[in-house]
Amino acid sequence: MIHKFKVKTSARSEMCDITREVQALVRENGAAEGVCHVFVPHTTCGLAVNENADPDVKRDIIAKLDDAVSEDFDYRHGEGNSPAHIKSVLVGPSLTVFIEDKTLQLGTWQGLYLCEYDGPRSREVWVKILKG
């Protein structure tokens, strides 16, 4: 079974914390031990694990990626969102996190983020839990 939930993003580029939503699905599922795979069915956003404390970290990640994958380049794709496709390839569409005691296992400072690069939009997140 694939669990699905929606995320409404509110800016062109944004990192939306989805830790609570994924953690809730893991608890609901009830697997004592296992693996939690997360996937986004989109080509202009990605999934990342990063710091959940200082919001300036998210701001810096977004700003430096905007700088490295700049808008002013000889892109050919007509929709004007080639930088979003490129960031999506670099950040990646999937994550794998472990489950123990029916709980997602993350480091102290880690949170799960949907990385929006072509928003604002309504996005879907897919979650699949394997026991073991």
| Shortest Cβ 85–a copy of itself spacing (Å) | 5
Are the beta carbons of 65 and 87 closer than 8 angstroms?
yes
CB crowding 27-59: b at 16 or more within 10 Å, else e: eebebeebebebbbebebbbbebebbeeeeebe
Question: Nearer to a copy of itself by C-beta: 26 or 95?
Answer: 95
For residues 13 and 59, what is the distance between their CA atoms, to the nearest angstrom? 10
In the complex with a copy of itself, the residue whose CB is nearer, 5 or 126, is 126
Query: Would you say 21 or 58 has its CB closer to a copy of itself?
Result: 58
CA pseudo-torsion sign 99, 104, 108, 113 = positive
For residue 84, the SS3 value is helix
Q: Name the residue nearer to a copy of itself (CB basis): 21 or 39.
A: 39
Smallest distance from a copy of itself to CB 65, Å: 7
Give the binding site for a copy of itself (CB under 8 A).
1-2, 33, 35, 37, 39-43, 48-51, 54, 56-57, 59-61, 63-65, 67-69, 73-79, 82-83, 85-86, 88-98, 100, 105-110, 115, 124, 126, 128, 130-132
* Minimum distance from residue 91 beta carbon to a copy of itself (Å): 6
Least separation in angstroms between residue 14's CB and a copy of itself is 14
Of the candidates 13, 3, 24, which has an alpha carbon nearest to the alpha carbon of residue 121?
Answer: 13
State in angstroms the smallest separation of the CB of 92 from a copy of itself. Answer: 6
Are the beta carbons of 5 and 125 closer than 8 angstroms? yes
